[in-house]
Structure 1
Amino acid sequence: MTDIAPTLAIRNGSLEIVAFKLGAEEYGIDIQKVQELRGYDAVTRIANAPEHIKGVVNLRGIIVPIIDMRIKFDLGEPTYNEFTVVVVINVAGRIVGMVVDSVSDVITLVSEQIKPAPEMGAALDTDYLIGLGTLGERMLILVDVDRLMSSEELGLIEKIAN
Protein backbone atom coordinates (compact mmCIF):
# COMPACT_ATOMS: atom_id res chain seq x y z
CA MET A 1 0.00 0.00 0.00
CA THR A 2 2.91 2.36 0.52
CA ASP A 3 3.65 2.92 -3.17
CA ILE A 4 -0.03 3.52 -4.00
CA ALA A 5 -0.90 5.90 -1.16
CA PRO A 6 1.01 8.99 -2.40
CA THR A 7 -0.88 9.05 -5.71
CA LEU A 8 -4.33 8.72 -4.14
CA ALA A 9 -6.24 11.10 -1.95
CA ILE A 10 -7.04 8.45 0.65
CA ARG A 11 -9.04 10.10 3.40
CA ASN A 12 -9.79 8.36 6.67
CA GLY A 13 -8.61 5.04 5.21
CA SER A 14 -10.91 5.24 2.18
CA LEU A 15 -11.05 6.66 -1.33
CA GLU A 16 -14.14 8.01 -3.09
CA ILE A 17 -14.07 7.39 -6.81
CA VAL A 18 -16.33 8.12 -9.76
CA ALA A 19 -16.78 4.87 -11.71
CA PHE A 20 -17.20 5.00 -15.49
CA LYS A 21 -17.22 2.58 -18.41
CA LEU A 22 -15.19 2.47 -21.58
CA GLY A 23 -16.31 -0.51 -23.62
CA ALA A 24 -16.53 -3.55 -21.36
CA GLU A 25 -14.08 -2.19 -18.77
CA GLU A 26 -14.84 -0.14 -15.71
CA TYR A 27 -12.52 2.66 -14.58
CA GLY A 28 -12.39 4.94 -11.59
CA ILE A 29 -10.94 8.37 -10.84
CA ASP A 30 -10.66 10.30 -7.58
CA ILE A 31 -13.91 12.20 -7.03
CA GLN A 32 -11.95 15.25 -5.88
CA LYS A 33 -10.65 15.70 -9.46
CA VAL A 34 -14.20 15.78 -10.85
CA GLN A 35 -15.79 19.18 -11.30
CA GLU A 36 -19.03 18.07 -12.96
CA LEU A 37 -20.74 15.53 -15.22
CA ARG A 38 -22.37 16.63 -18.47
CA GLY A 39 -24.11 14.99 -21.39
CA TYR A 40 -22.13 14.85 -24.62
CA ASP A 41 -22.81 17.85 -26.87
CA ALA A 42 -21.38 18.88 -30.20
CA VAL A 43 -17.85 20.24 -29.97
CA THR A 44 -15.98 22.77 -32.06
CA ARG A 45 -13.30 20.84 -33.96
CA ILE A 46 -9.75 22.18 -33.95
CA ALA A 47 -7.63 21.74 -37.08
CA ASN A 48 -4.55 19.52 -36.73
CA ALA A 49 -5.50 18.34 -33.23
CA PRO A 50 -4.74 14.69 -32.41
CA GLU A 51 -7.66 12.35 -33.07
CA HIS A 52 -8.46 11.82 -29.36
CA ILE A 53 -8.92 15.56 -28.81
CA LYS A 54 -12.45 15.90 -30.18
CA GLY A 55 -12.45 19.70 -29.96
CA VAL A 56 -13.49 22.35 -27.45
CA VAL A 57 -16.69 23.58 -25.79
CA ASN A 58 -17.51 26.84 -24.06
CA LEU A 59 -18.41 25.99 -20.47
CA ARG A 60 -19.71 29.14 -18.78
CA GLY A 61 -17.03 31.28 -20.42
CA ILE A 62 -14.19 28.75 -20.08
CA ILE A 63 -12.89 27.04 -23.23
CA VAL A 64 -12.68 23.34 -22.29
CA PRO A 65 -10.83 20.79 -24.45
CA ILE A 66 -12.75 17.52 -24.87
CA ILE A 67 -10.74 14.29 -24.95
CA ASP A 68 -12.38 11.02 -26.02
CA MET A 69 -10.97 8.39 -23.67
CA ARG A 70 -12.01 5.48 -25.89
CA ILE A 71 -9.83 6.87 -28.70
CA LYS A 72 -7.01 7.79 -26.28
CA PHE A 73 -6.93 4.23 -24.90
CA ASP A 74 -7.37 2.72 -28.40
CA LEU A 75 -10.55 0.86 -27.40
CA GLY A 76 -12.27 0.84 -30.76
CA GLU A 77 -14.68 3.18 -32.47
CA PRO A 78 -16.57 5.42 -30.04
CA THR A 79 -20.33 5.76 -30.19
CA TYR A 80 -22.15 8.79 -28.85
CA ASN A 81 -25.62 8.24 -27.42
CA GLU A 82 -27.83 9.27 -24.50
CA PHE A 83 -25.50 7.44 -22.06
CA THR A 84 -22.30 9.17 -23.23
CA VAL A 85 -20.96 11.47 -20.51
CA VAL A 86 -18.33 14.19 -20.36
CA VAL A 87 -16.55 14.05 -17.01
CA VAL A 88 -15.22 17.56 -16.42
CA ILE A 89 -12.01 17.32 -14.41
CA ASN A 90 -9.47 19.73 -13.00
CA VAL A 91 -5.88 18.72 -13.81
CA ALA A 92 -3.02 20.97 -12.71
CA GLY A 93 -5.38 23.95 -12.62
CA ARG A 94 -6.64 23.22 -16.16
CA ILE A 95 -10.26 22.21 -16.88
CA VAL A 96 -10.53 19.24 -19.27
CA GLY A 97 -13.52 17.16 -20.41
CA MET A 98 -13.14 13.36 -20.67
CA VAL A 99 -15.69 11.60 -22.89
CA VAL A 100 -16.67 8.20 -21.45
CA ASP A 101 -19.32 5.66 -22.45
CA SER A 102 -21.25 6.05 -19.19
CA VAL A 103 -20.84 6.90 -15.51
CA SER A 104 -22.17 4.25 -13.17
CA ASP A 105 -21.78 5.51 -9.62
CA VAL A 106 -19.64 6.94 -6.82
CA ILE A 107 -17.89 4.23 -4.84
CA THR A 108 -16.00 4.34 -1.58
CA LEU A 109 -13.06 1.92 -1.48
CA VAL A 110 -11.15 1.13 1.68
CA SER A 111 -7.39 0.65 1.40
CA GLU A 112 -7.72 -3.18 1.52
CA GLN A 113 -9.80 -3.03 -1.69
CA ILE A 114 -7.05 -1.22 -3.63
CA LYS A 115 -4.45 -3.51 -5.20
CA PRO A 116 -1.26 -2.35 -6.97
CA ALA A 117 -1.37 -2.18 -10.77
CA PRO A 118 0.23 -5.25 -12.36
CA GLU A 119 3.56 -4.84 -14.16
CA MET A 120 2.91 -4.94 -17.90
CA GLY A 121 6.45 -4.50 -19.18
CA ALA A 122 7.90 -1.75 -21.34
CA ALA A 123 5.59 -2.44 -24.31
CA LEU A 124 2.57 -0.98 -22.51
CA ASP A 125 2.49 2.48 -20.91
CA THR A 126 0.73 2.00 -17.58
CA ASP A 127 2.25 4.95 -15.69
CA TYR A 128 -1.22 6.48 -15.33
CA LEU A 129 -2.59 3.37 -13.56
CA ILE A 130 -2.76 3.66 -9.80
CA GLY A 131 -4.05 0.19 -9.14
CA LEU A 132 -7.14 -1.96 -9.22
CA GLY A 133 -10.15 -1.46 -7.02
CA THR A 134 -12.01 -4.60 -6.07
CA LEU A 135 -15.63 -4.61 -5.01
CA GLY A 136 -16.90 -8.20 -4.84
CA GLU A 137 -16.75 -9.52 -8.41
CA ARG A 138 -16.33 -6.00 -9.77
CA MET A 139 -12.88 -4.75 -10.71
CA LEU A 140 -12.16 -1.10 -11.46
CA ILE A 141 -9.04 0.21 -13.16
CA LEU A 142 -7.99 3.19 -11.04
CA VAL A 143 -6.57 6.03 -13.12
CA ASP A 144 -4.38 8.91 -11.97
CA VAL A 145 -5.70 11.74 -14.18
CA ASP A 146 -2.72 13.95 -13.36
CA ARG A 147 -0.38 11.36 -14.90
CA LEU A 148 -2.81 10.48 -17.69
CA MET A 149 -3.00 14.07 -18.86
CA SER A 150 0.76 14.41 -19.17
CA SER A 151 2.45 17.80 -19.16
CA GLU A 152 3.08 17.33 -22.90
CA GLU A 153 -0.62 16.80 -23.52
CA LEU A 154 -1.62 19.67 -21.24
CA GLY A 155 0.78 21.90 -23.20
CA LEU A 156 -0.95 20.85 -26.41
CA ILE A 157 -4.36 21.50 -24.81
CA GLU A 158 -3.15 24.91 -23.63
CA LYS A 159 -2.18 25.79 -27.23
CA ILE A 160 -5.56 24.63 -28.55
CA ALA A 161 -7.60 26.48 -25.93
CA ASN A 162 -5.86 29.82 -26.44
Structure 2
Amino acid sequence: MSQISEEEKQYVVFRLGSEVFGIDINKVKEIIVYQEPTHMPGSSEFIEGIINLRGHVIPIFSLRKKFNFPEAGDMGKTRIIVVEAGNSTVGIVVDGVSEVVMISGSVIEKPSSLLTSTVDENYITGVAKMESGLVIILDLEKVIGRDMAEAI
Protein backbone atom coordinates (compact mmCIF):
# COMPACT_ATOMS: atom_id res chain seq x y z
CA MET A 1 0.00 0.00 0.00
CA SER A 2 1.32 3.42 -0.84
CA GLN A 3 1.00 6.48 1.32
CA ILE A 4 -0.75 9.76 0.60
CA SER A 5 1.01 13.18 0.88
CA GLU A 6 2.62 14.05 4.23
CA GLU A 7 0.37 17.09 4.72
CA GLU A 8 -1.67 17.28 7.94
CA LYS A 9 -5.41 17.89 7.57
CA GLN A 10 -8.39 18.11 9.90
CA TYR A 11 -11.11 15.51 9.62
CA VAL A 12 -14.54 15.13 11.19
CA VAL A 13 -14.69 11.58 12.55
CA PHE A 14 -18.04 9.79 12.71
CA ARG A 15 -19.52 6.33 13.16
CA LEU A 16 -21.77 4.20 10.97
CA GLY A 17 -22.47 0.97 12.79
CA SER A 18 -19.15 -0.32 14.11
CA GLU A 19 -17.11 1.41 11.38
CA VAL A 20 -15.30 4.73 11.88
CA PHE A 21 -15.09 7.21 9.00
CA GLY A 22 -13.53 10.61 8.46
CA ILE A 23 -14.32 13.44 6.07
CA ASP A 24 -12.31 16.56 5.31
CA ILE A 25 -13.46 19.33 7.67
CA ASN A 26 -13.33 21.82 4.78
CA LYS A 27 -16.37 20.05 3.26
CA VAL A 28 -18.39 20.30 6.51
CA LYS A 29 -20.68 23.28 7.02
CA GLU A 30 -22.24 22.17 10.31
CA ILE A 31 -23.42 19.22 12.38
CA ILE A 32 -27.03 19.13 13.59
CA VAL A 33 -29.19 16.82 15.68
CA TYR A 34 -31.14 14.36 13.53
CA GLN A 35 -34.56 15.50 12.43
CA GLU A 36 -36.98 13.32 10.50
CA PRO A 37 -36.84 14.32 6.82
CA THR A 38 -39.89 14.86 4.63
CA HIS A 39 -39.94 12.03 2.12
CA MET A 40 -39.80 12.91 -1.56
CA PRO A 41 -41.62 10.59 -3.97
CA GLY A 42 -39.46 9.38 -6.84
CA SER A 43 -36.12 10.36 -5.30
CA SER A 44 -33.02 8.17 -5.35
CA GLU A 45 -33.06 5.22 -2.94
CA PHE A 46 -30.17 6.86 -1.06
CA ILE A 47 -32.11 10.09 -0.40
CA GLU A 48 -34.07 9.85 2.85
CA GLY A 49 -35.92 13.08 2.10
CA ILE A 50 -35.48 16.80 2.63
CA ILE A 51 -35.30 19.12 5.63
CA ASN A 52 -35.69 22.85 6.11
CA LEU A 53 -32.44 24.18 7.56
CA ARG A 54 -32.92 27.85 8.45
CA GLY A 55 -34.92 28.57 5.31
CA HIS A 56 -32.89 26.34 2.97
CA VAL A 57 -34.28 23.03 1.77
CA ILE A 58 -31.52 20.43 1.70
CA PRO A 59 -31.63 16.75 0.70
CA ILE A 60 -30.71 14.16 3.32
CA PHE A 61 -28.43 11.39 2.07
CA SER A 62 -28.12 7.95 3.68
CA LEU A 63 -24.57 6.60 3.78
CA ARG A 64 -26.02 3.57 5.55
CA LYS A 65 -28.07 2.64 2.45
CA LYS A 66 -25.26 3.59 0.07
CA PHE A 67 -22.83 1.25 1.85
CA ASN A 68 -25.42 -1.51 2.43
CA PHE A 69 -25.19 -1.28 6.21
CA PRO A 70 -28.13 -2.62 8.25
CA GLU A 71 -30.68 -0.11 9.56
CA ALA A 72 -29.73 1.65 12.79
CA GLY A 73 -31.54 0.73 15.99
CA ASP A 74 -30.92 3.52 18.49
CA MET A 75 -31.34 7.01 16.97
CA GLY A 76 -30.27 8.84 20.16
CA LYS A 77 -26.84 9.92 18.93
CA THR A 78 -27.77 10.18 15.25
CA ARG A 79 -26.59 13.39 13.62
CA ILE A 80 -26.81 15.05 10.25
CA ILE A 81 -23.52 16.37 8.92
CA VAL A 82 -24.29 19.22 6.50
CA VAL A 83 -21.64 19.14 3.78
CA GLU A 84 -20.74 20.88 0.57
CA ALA A 85 -20.37 18.29 -2.21
CA GLY A 86 -19.85 19.53 -5.73
CA ASN A 87 -22.23 22.45 -6.15
CA SER A 88 -24.75 21.10 -3.64
CA THR A 89 -25.37 21.38 0.07
CA VAL A 90 -26.39 18.00 1.42
CA GLY A 91 -27.05 16.44 4.81
CA ILE A 92 -25.59 13.01 5.50
CA VAL A 93 -27.01 10.85 8.28
CA VAL A 94 -24.47 9.27 10.64
CA ASP A 95 -24.77 7.26 13.85
CA GLY A 96 -22.66 9.69 15.84
CA VAL A 97 -19.92 12.28 15.47
CA SER A 98 -17.01 11.65 17.79
CA GLU A 99 -14.37 14.31 17.18
CA VAL A 100 -12.37 16.53 14.89
CA VAL A 101 -8.79 15.29 14.51
CA MET A 102 -5.61 16.32 12.75
CA ILE A 103 -4.36 13.43 10.65
CA SER A 104 -0.98 13.46 8.98
CA GLY A 105 -0.77 12.07 5.48
CA SER A 106 2.05 9.84 6.75
CA VAL A 107 -0.44 7.66 8.68
CA ILE A 108 -2.90 7.37 5.76
CA GLU A 109 -2.53 4.45 3.39
CA LYS A 110 -4.26 3.99 0.05
CA PRO A 111 -7.20 1.60 0.31
CA SER A 112 -6.90 -2.03 -0.65
CA SER A 113 -9.83 -3.99 -2.08
CA LEU A 114 -9.17 -6.52 0.69
CA LEU A 115 -9.76 -3.82 3.33
CA THR A 116 -12.87 -2.35 1.79
CA SER A 117 -15.25 -5.23 1.32
CA THR A 118 -18.40 -3.33 2.37
CA VAL A 119 -17.55 0.06 0.85
CA ASP A 120 -16.58 0.64 -2.79
CA GLU A 121 -12.86 1.45 -2.73
CA ASN A 122 -13.44 4.32 -5.21
CA TYR A 123 -15.22 6.16 -2.39
CA ILE A 124 -12.22 5.95 -0.10
CA THR A 125 -9.24 8.32 -0.10
CA GLY A 126 -7.33 6.17 2.37
CA VAL A 127 -7.26 4.47 5.73
CA ALA A 128 -5.70 6.34 8.66
CA LYS A 129 -3.91 4.31 11.32
CA MET A 130 -4.70 6.08 14.61
CA GLU A 131 -3.98 5.05 18.21
CA SER A 132 -7.72 4.56 18.70
CA GLY A 133 -8.01 2.33 15.62
CA LEU A 134 -8.52 2.68 11.88
CA VAL A 135 -10.39 5.62 10.33
CA ILE A 136 -11.69 5.22 6.78
CA ILE A 137 -11.25 8.55 4.97
CA LEU A 138 -14.11 9.14 2.51
CA ASP A 139 -14.07 11.11 -0.74
CA LEU A 140 -17.45 12.86 -0.46
CA GLU A 141 -17.49 13.99 -4.07
CA LYS A 142 -17.36 10.38 -5.26
CA VAL A 143 -19.65 8.97 -2.55
CA ILE A 144 -22.60 11.27 -3.13
CA GLY A 145 -21.81 13.08 -6.37
CA ARG A 146 -23.64 10.98 -8.93
CA ASP A 147 -26.57 10.16 -6.64
CA MET A 148 -27.08 13.83 -5.79
CA ALA A 149 -26.94 14.82 -9.46
CA GLU A 150 -29.72 12.33 -10.16
CA ALA A 151 -31.74 13.43 -7.14
CA ILE A 152 -31.72 17.16 -7.82
| Common fold: TM-score over 0.5 | yes
The number of aligned residues is 150
- CA RMSD across the alignment: 2.2
Provide the residue aligned with 2:29 in structure 1.
Answer: 35
Cα distance change of structure 1 residues 79 and 52 upon mapping to structure 2, 3 Å threshold: farther
SS at 1:64's partner residue? strand
Conserved 8 A contact 2:80-2:92: yes
User: Identity over the aligned pairs, expressed in percent?
Assistant: 30
Most deviating of 133-142 and 14-23: 133-142
Q: Deviation of residue 4 (structure 1)?
A: 3.8
SS at 2:42's partner residue? coil
Conserved 8 A contact 2:2-2:109: no
Match of 1:50 among 28, 32, 44: 44
Superposed counterparts of 1:115-154, under 5 Å: 115-120=109-114, 125-150=120-145, 152-154=146-148
SS at 1:156's partner residue? helix
Residue ranges of structure 2 left out of the alignment (5+ in a row): none
Conserved 8 A contact 1:40-1:80: no
Q: Deviation of residue 67 (structure 1)?
A: 1.0
Superposed counterparts of 1:1-162, under 5 Å: 4-5=4-5, 13-79=7-73, 81-120=75-114, 125-150=120-145, 152-158=146-152
Conserved 8 A contact 1:21-1:27: yes
Matched AA of 1:143? L
The TM-score normalised by the length of structure 1 is 0.83
Q: Return the alpha-carbon distance in structure 1 between the equivalents of residues 143 and 137 of structure 2.
A: 11
Q: Deviation of residue 2 (structure 1)?
A: 8.0
With a CA cutoff of 8 Å and minimum separation of 6, indicate the structure with the bigger relative contact order: 2
Q: Return the alpha-carbon distance in structure 1 between the equivalents of residues 28 and 74 of structure 2.
A: 21
Residue ranges of structure 1 left out of the alignment (5+ in a row): none
Runs of 4+ aligned residues of structure 1 deviating over 4 Å after TM superposition are none
